[in-house]
Structure 1
Amino acid sequence: MRHRATRRRVAIRPSAIRPFALRSSAMAVCTVLFGAEAMAQQDTTTLPAVNVKASQYDPDDVRPEGVTTATKTYLAPKDIPQTIDTLDVNKYKSYGINDLSIMLDGIPGVNTTYDMRGEGVYIRGFQADSGDIYRDGVRESGQVRRSTANVERIEILKGPASVLYGRSAGGGIVNLVSKQARFDARSSVTLRGGSWENYGGTIDINHVVNPNVVMRLTADREQAHSFRAGIRNRNEMVSPSILIDTRTGLRWTAQYTYDNVWRVPDRGPAYDTLPAGVSIRTGFQHPGDYVQDRLRVARSDLVYEFNPAWSLRWVASKREASQDFDHYFAGTYNAATGLVRPNYAWQQTSNKTTSNTLDLAGKFHTGTIAHDLLLGLEISDELRQPRLATVTQNFGYDPFNPNPAAWPARPAQGTPTQHNRHEGEAEAVYVQDLIGITPEWKLLLGLRHDRFKFHSTNYLSGLARGYDGSSSSPRVGVVWQPVPSQSLYASYSKSYSPYGGRGMLSVDVAANAVYDDAPQHSRQFEVGIKSDWLGGMLSTQLAVYTLEHYNIRYRPDAVNDPFTWAIRGKERSRGVEFSASGQVAKGWYVRGGAGVMSAKVTGDAQVPANEGLYLNGSARRNGNLFLRYAPEGPWYGEIGVTHTSARWANAANTSQVPGYSRWDALVGWRAAPWTVTAAVSNLFDTEYWRSAAMPGAPRSLLLSANYQF
């Protein structure tokens, strides 16, 4: 097994701190919990039961000792027969990155685009931002941009994950692990500032009240302009949390997160519609354009350990998200007139989700065979209420000199062109067993059954409809560890996407609507090896996979025979991924990986010309590599490159986003309790496009200072 220096721990007694409890989700915490008593000066002499060990944590080694996303139990990555990548968010914050999609850029097999309304994430060829993003294991549904101001790390599980999480597009899931109250966390204050009038700060106060109670308050504020004229944003986040551990097997973690993002949207015309010579620094926004994302999340995580082998866990979550916008966007270019004709829309959308999960976990033996069992029950309901309008525009502007102040007055928000109410309910039961056949052989078996019910109402027409269905999702994996440092595995997993793959909250309410209620499915076969080298200092993982999206349906003759649905065909992604992380020599650290992928349409009876074409948004090659030098002493530095090859921007493969390589570098100085860094993004000022609608930022600088106490 890989050996690492342990993180900073508070030694109360051997069973005092359970890793999975310290990473759990939480419910609302009243802000009075962070009153005078919580903010009082810490005096460890009044807490004789608490003894703090000497810190041996290596801040340059980003490898996790365990993860929870893949199995909902805390396991070493080598015991999981599926690829999972983990990102230390602080490493990206050093460069001023707060955008989730930019953080994921360069992860092997993960492609990102710019989406003003969402995240624009693709995993192994399939979109993963509409229903496959989670926070502390709870689905982050709804149309909203997510701040990462309160995120400690990100776990990306690649491949179908319906066996534990329900509906999914099949490429994988992204789980954001929050900063929460912990007995071993330190407090800190961070200030930062840099290019494009970017400045902000973070306060992170973790206070051990007594041996049974610890509280934490994390707050962040940031505002910045963009390299594109007129574009700016303002982010605010506050998240209090509390952990109560009775030391008798009962623990409760609670957390409330308030997140508010306001911005002038950057949603100009696509690069391939603009004439040559338009600067990437040109902004196309009208005075008064705005987008506002609001997120309120309350979580409660209650765990009771009957004994060292068996525990019961109840996670409850209430989430409210909304996105309002009013802006001009995109547009078409007329070469004859030399003008761009923009589009215009306003929207008011709210999303509310309530989720309850009950897990029974236990370890036992049947003869010489060991079992790590998980039995689960999940109940959730979602409500989405979009209200929006699009208004046809009859004016044009010069893309070389858009001068938005001279555009006609923005239309008034009148009667919406769409006004709907979408409701969804789901219940699921699941079982998972990690079977230790011998010390070298492990078998992971899992099965989940979901029942779902949806209902939609069109407030404009007065029509309403609903439907219900069910689906089962299996997973099988085998792990062989011939020696402790090498772990070979093979796995099969399957996922479902209800209502013909159209998502959970969207039912056609037209009077002549005919349901395609059969779910779409994805299935993946994966083999790989996870290894430790250099005496456990360096870890690698290599995976080969085939991922198919099937049961895609269409109506061969929607006009004359609207009641007949048929199989359209399949989409398939095949690839190889490699990643490495750890220490390669004294003072030298590496993190990164590379992926090669072929994501194609393998069958399309609806549009036969698409057969053999590549799926849009997915690069054939991508990856990143960061090399850090941290010798003894206060100074350290790193340099890294992120590469993405060309991606097709449409299903017909007629428009392509060029590939790019971007270099980043930083230099840092740390002498406890201070850490100061200077980071340069896009070191060589490369001009490139993140997506068809968004250029990459030019060279920029961020200075940050952190004080721990």
Structure 2
Amino acid sequence: MHRFYTALLILCCLFMQAAFAQTSNGTIKGRVKTSDGKPAAYVSVGITHSGKGTTTDEDGNFLLTDIKPGSYTLKVSFVGLQTQEQQVNVSARERIQQDFTLTESSSQLNEVIITGGASSNKPVSLGKADIRPLDLPQSVGVIQSRVIADQQAVRLGDVVKNVSGVSLTQSRGGVAETFSARGYSIGIAGSGGSIFKNGVISNTQGFPDASTLESIEVLKGSSALLYGNVSGGVIINMVTKKPVFDWGGQVSMLFGSYGQYKPTVDVYGPISKKLAFRMIGTHEDAKSYRDVVNTNRTYINPSLLYKISDKTDVLVQVDYLKSNLVPDAGVGIPNNRITVTEVPDAPRNRFIYPAWAFNNTNQKSAFVTINHRFNDSWKLTAIGSAQHTRVNGFGVGVPTTIAANGDWNRNLSAVRSGEKDYTGQINLNGNFKTAGIQHQLLFGSDFTRIVSENNSFRYTSANGVVGTAYDKINIYEPASYYLRTDIPAVADTARTTTPQNRLGIYVQDLISVTSKFKVLAGVRWSHQKAIQTTIFNQEKQQERRGTAPDKSDHAFSPKVALIYQPVQTSSIYASYTNNFTINSGTDIYGDNLKPSIINQYELGMKNEFLNGRVTANVSVYRIQNSNFAQMALVDQNGNPNTNSNIKELNGETTSDGFEVDFNGTLSRNFYFLAGYGYNYMRYTNTTGIVGSQVEGERLINNPAHTANGSLFYTFDKGSIKGLKLGASAFYTGKRMGGNNNVVGLEGGLNNTTPNLTSYNAQFPLTGFSTVDLSAGYSLRGVSLLVKVSNIFNTMNYIVHDRYSINPIPPRMIAATVSYRF
């Protein structure tokens, strides 16, 4: 580790030395303002016919470096704006100042910016390196706040379905969501490490409030080079809104079906010339289409931005979430065999859990981001964060076993858990030339510590009976059995604390061999340590160590991509990268399993048309895990293995697919999003008695087909000026729930005639489509937007967990009244 770290530091210093030595070229800097003197943020500035370009920052400033002496045309543009051009003459070692004033006011520009959120080709902060979208050899989706507001999205799952190939595959008890892309799933906990907030690991227990976000960034495929042990299919970053040095804000009230109401306040502005603030707060109270279920949530997100100097700024963001709800684990799966289309007499609203059940989540997060620009070519970013999540809940467990006639023995289940996430990362970005070749270098390191706590319990009924058994019900005929309504006593018996540490060091370079041919190459070294658990006995007030010792894993994650850009508005790339997963259990000799290395190959093409107003992207991929961990069929003596903790790395999974995105903003009044994804994720090379999985079987919770489409148009002329119309449609294809089938071996290798048996544990789910229609009207800052979701009242299910399914929401209505100032 020490030698590797030292080598990277020396390499970085050599690059910096070469960069600082290069001073013969010139620089263009300037500021773009609106007609009323306000800074114009996120406006494109570029040199025509050169491929050089950038965007203005939040203060309207831009900087173009390493420009050869000569005469150039400087162009300022944004979707929906009139393009402006200026001639500039650049001399060696000279810094040219060139400012622009747009014809639009700040309010008009803000409207254009948020409406322009339909394009997939947006820079992503999750990329760490400020790489231009057409230079990034990876499939990306960015959903801006305008789309979130127009669709009146509330949860994260409402938003990510706008990205091709990404689907909501599990809704866990109405408490959290699980997403799938390219055959791989990402869950709720920070330990899963694939859902981020402001670029750092986030626990999403209790649902993040998507309606308050600036944007949601989605990177598909492997991102292990930058983030280590993350999903091989997708990572999601939630970007919170930031302070602005201009007074403004918005207040709104959402009313919805089943008694939903949700007021939101967003206020921002300058405190001084160098200090700005933003305060966002919202509260939600709602019942549900599911009997008994209700939600009560409060979310607060204050932030401060301090500009220490022209080169350095500090951003501090804090948020607090309090979520109290009735958990809902769905309708069960009778006999764990039948298809959902055969479920008899199971109305969408039927709730089969105690009315007294509860789940309360409290979460506090803090983020500090420091940006420092050394000069025109080098920038340093440091991020620190802390998050604390507490969950307290009590009810009955997921219905793992329901008889074919609907009888279910309900057992008590409680949760009292906590998770503390601490993250620090530092990134150095540099732009320079060596031997006439342009480099865009990223060098960085990150560290994450996650400490999880979980409790075990003892349950006691009012008459003194100790145990988990509660009662028996019939999910089809609830009145056929006596339903208990009393709340048993629950007492903590033990608390298990599980710490883990993650460390990563990475370097990445985007090399422009020519203006048309580029290479991106990089590598990461990751070290992950699971520290021995501690178990505190609450009754005896004693602490002991867990049985499993510390476990350390490490892996290298390389990435290389070739990028060809025949014209400035088109990019073709081919890439190889990998990621890794940490495996639990041991091999047949009792040794810890090594991480599984998962290889990904991707071909893609990104295109921009009509001056960036329309984007059309396509990608094709293969993701292969050739050392998939599966249950060993036999032990070291050749006898049948019945211990699921004893595994071997001889399985294989293969995920093939492609994705298409076609998005655009044809004017400030009209934008659309459209996408389609296909995935074939299955077990491969598992025939015979090599492993315990079934050859060719699709993995559960992975729809083969997904599709999305949305369009919104606002009239700006005539008697209907201010009228907005919109429509959205989403499709989730058929998939399998439950557990993947397992092949068992009877007789063992020493038996001359071993028998292979398959244990069926799956149930099929049909595909479904939902359609939403929206209409609204705006006048002088006041707006009303009404949406009817699932207008055709489609009935289908989302998997809750392996043993239950949740019906999707029926036709519902939501209306939002807002005032922008």
Which interval holds the TM-score relative to the shorter structure?
0.7 to 0.9
User: Aligned equivalents of 2:350 and 2:34: distance in 1?
Assistant: 47
**Contact persistence 2:364–2:389 (CA under 8 A):** yes
Instruction: Please tell me whether residue 260 in structure 1 is matched to residue 260 in structure 2.
Output: no
Residue 11 of structure 1 corresponds to 39
User: Secondary structure of 1:536's match?
Assistant: coil
Residue pair 2:679, 2:704 contacting (<8 A) in 1 also: yes
Deviation at 1:74, TM superposition (A): 2.4
Match of 1:641 among 711, 729, 732: 729
- Amino acid in structure 2 at the alignment position of 1:351: E
The residue type paired with residue 163 of structure 1 is L
- Which of 621, 643, 651 aligns to 1:569? It is 651
Separation of aligned partners in 2, 1:564 and 1:663:
47
Aligned-pair CA distance for 1:287: 2.6
Residue among 682, 701, 708 paired with 1:624? 708
Q: Which has the higher contact order (CA 8 A, sep 6+)?
A: 1
State yes or no: 1:524 paired with 2:600: yes
After TM superposition, the structure 1 = structure 2 runs for residues 400-411 of structure 1, keeping only pairs within 5 Å, are 400-402=476-478, 406-407=483-484, 409-411=486-488
Deviation string, structure 1 residues 613-635 (Cα, Å, up to 9, x no partner): 00100111111111222232200
Is 1:178 the counterpart of 2:240? The answer is: yes
Change (3 A) 1:20 1:287: farther
Question: More displaced, 82-91 or 698-707?
Answer: 82-91
TM-score by length of 2: 0.76
Deviation at 1:517, TM superposition (A): 3.7
User: How does 1:69-84 map onto structure 2 within 5 Å?
Assistant: 69=125, 71-84=127-140
> What secondary structure, in the 3-state scheme, does the structure 2 residue paired with 1:62 have?
helix
Measured in 2, the distance between the counterparts of 1:606 and 1:270 equals: 34
Give 2:551's aligned residue.
Answer: 467
1:233 is aligned, of 292, 295, 312, to 295
Distance 1:325 1:410 in 2: 13
SS in 1 for 2:157: helix
2:664 equivalent in structure 1: 582
Q: For 2:527 and 2:204, how far apart are their aligned partners in 1? A: 20
Task: Describe the SS at the equivalent of 1:697.
Answer: coil
Distance in 1, Cα, partners of 2:531 & 2:636: 25
For residues 286-324 of structure 1, what are the alpha-carbon distances to aligned partners after superposition, in whole Å with 9 as ceiling and x for unaligned? 132111122111111111111121111111111111222
Shift of 1:139: 0.9
- Which letter does structure 2 place at the counterpart of 1:266? D
The 1-side partners of 2:621 and 2:457 are apart by 43
Displacement of 1:7 in angstroms is 9.9
Quote the Cα distance in structure 1 between the aligned partners of 2:472 and 2:247.
55
Q: Does 1:55 align with 2:55?
A: no
The amino acid across from 2:497 in the alignment is: R
**After the TM superposition, which residues 30-179 of structure 1 pair with which residues of structure 2 at under 5 Å, given as runs?**
53=106, 55-56=108-109, 57-58=111-112, 59-63=114-118, 66-69=122-125, 71-105=127-161, 107-112=163-168, 113-116=170-173, 117-129=175-187, 130-141=192-203, 145-179=207-241
Between Structure 1 and Structure 2, whose CA radius of gyration is higher? 2
Contact 2:633 2:692 in 1 (8 A): no
Post-superposition offset of 1:70? 5.1
Cα distance change, pair 448–402 in 1 and its aligned pair in 2 (3 A): same
SS in 1 for 2:707: strand
Q: Distance in 1 between matches of 2:667 and 2:492?
A: 65
Deviation at 1:494, TM superposition (A): 0.9
Distance 1:6 1:577, change over 3 A: farther
Matching of residues 439-478 of structure 1 within 5 Å:
439-459=515-535, 462-464=545-547, 465-478=549-562
Distance 1:603-1:395 versus aligned 2 partners, 3 A rule: farther
1:433-457, CA deviations, whole angstroms, 9 ceiling, x for partnerless residues?
1111111122111111112222132
For 1:428 and 1:585, the matched residues in 2 are separated by: 43
Q: Secondary structure at the match of 1:119?
A: strand
Which runs of 5 or more residues in structure 1 are unaligned?
Answer: 23-49
Between the aligned partners of 2:279 and 2:488, the Cα distance in structure 1 is 42
Q: Distance in 2 between matches of 1:21 and 1:649?
A: 50
CA distance in 1, matches of 2:699, 2:660: 22
CA distance in 2, matches of 1:142, 1:551: 30
In 2: Cα distance, 1:393 partner to 1:560 partner: 40
CA distance in 2, matches of 1:575, 1:271: 30
Q: 2:774 matched to which residue of 1?
A: 666
Counterparts of 1:198-597 in structure 2, within 5 Å, are 198-271=260-333, 275-331=343-399, 332-335=401-404, 338-389=406-457, 392-393=468-469, 395-402=471-478, 406-407=483-484, 409-416=486-493, 419-459=495-535, 462-464=545-547, 465-498=549-582, 500=583, 502=584, 514-554=590-630, 555-558=632-635, 566-583=648-665, 587-597=669-679
* Alignment deviations for residues 397-434 of structure 1 (CA, whole Å, 9 cap, x no partner): 13235379932533321354x74211112222111111
Relative distance call for 1:10 and 1:349 in structure 2 (3 A) is farther
- Three-state SS of the structure 2 residue aligned to 1:478 is strand
Task: Please give the secondary structure, in 2, of the residue aligned with 1:569.
Answer: strand
Residues in 1 aligned to 2:59 and 2:559: alpha-carbon distance in whole angstroms: 22
Amino acid at match of 1:289: A
User: Sequence identity, in percent?
Assistant: 21
Partner SS state of residue 489, structure 2: coil
How many angstroms apart in 2 are the aligned matches of 1:7 and 1:663? 39
Tell me, yes or no, if the aligned pair for 1:231 and 1:285 is still in contact at 8 Å: no
Equivalent pair of 1:20/1:74 in contact (CA under 8 Å): no
Give 2:711's aligned amino acid. L
Tell me if structure 2 keeps the 8 A contact 1:286–1:405: no
CA distance in 2, matches of 1:523, 1:20: 42
Match of residue 47 from structure 1: none
Deviation, 1:201, is 0.9
2:685 to 599, 603, 613: 603
What is the SS of the residue equivalent to 1:595?
strand
SS of the counterpart of 1:687?
coil
Q: Structure 1 residues 244 and 70, CA, compared in 2 at 3 Å: closer, same or farther?
A: closer
The aligned counterpart of 2:72 is: none
Other structure's SS at 2:129 match: coil
User: Offset of 1:358 from its aligned partner?
Assistant: 1.2
**CA 1:21–1:374 in structure 2 vs 1: closer, same or farther (change >3 Å)?**
farther
Please report how far the alpha carbon of residue 99 of structure 1 lies from its aligned counterpart in structure 2 after TM superposition: 2.1
1:694 to 793, 806, 813: 806
Worse-superposed segment, 199-208 or 58-67: 58-67
Count of residue correspondences: 667
Structure 1 residue 127: deviation in Å?
1.2
Report the secondary structure of 1:395's partner residue.
Answer: strand
Give the alignment's Cα RMSD to 1 decimal: 3.1
SS at match of 1:372: strand
Write the deviation string for residues 327-346 of structure 1: whole angstroms up to 9, x where unpaired.
Answer: 1243233345x422233210
Greater shift in the superposed pair: 343-352 or 177-186: 177-186
Secondary structure of 2:777's counterpart equals strand
Distance in 2, Cα, partners of 1:659 & 1:482: 40
Q: Deviations over 1:236-270 (max 9, x none)?
A: 11111000113330100001111111110111332
> CA shift at 1:476, angstroms?
1.1
Deviation readout 1:216-238 (Å, 9 max, x if unpaired): 11111111111011101111111
| Residues 344 and 237 of structure 1, relative CA distance in 2, 3 Å threshold | same
Does the C-alpha gap of structure 1 residues 606 and 215 become closer, same or farther in structure 2, counting only changes over 3 Å? Answer: farther
SS of 1:333's equivalent in the other structure is coil
Secondary structure at 2:398 match in 1: strand
Question: Relative to structure 1, is the Cα distance of residues 55 and 451 closer, same or farther in structure 2, using a 3 angstrom cutoff?
Answer: same
Counterpart contact for 1:144–1:321, Cα < 8 Å: no
> Partners in 2 of 1:678 and 1:454 — Cα distance?
49
Asked if the contact 2:128–2:427 (Cα under 8 Å) also holds between the matched residues in 1, the reply is no
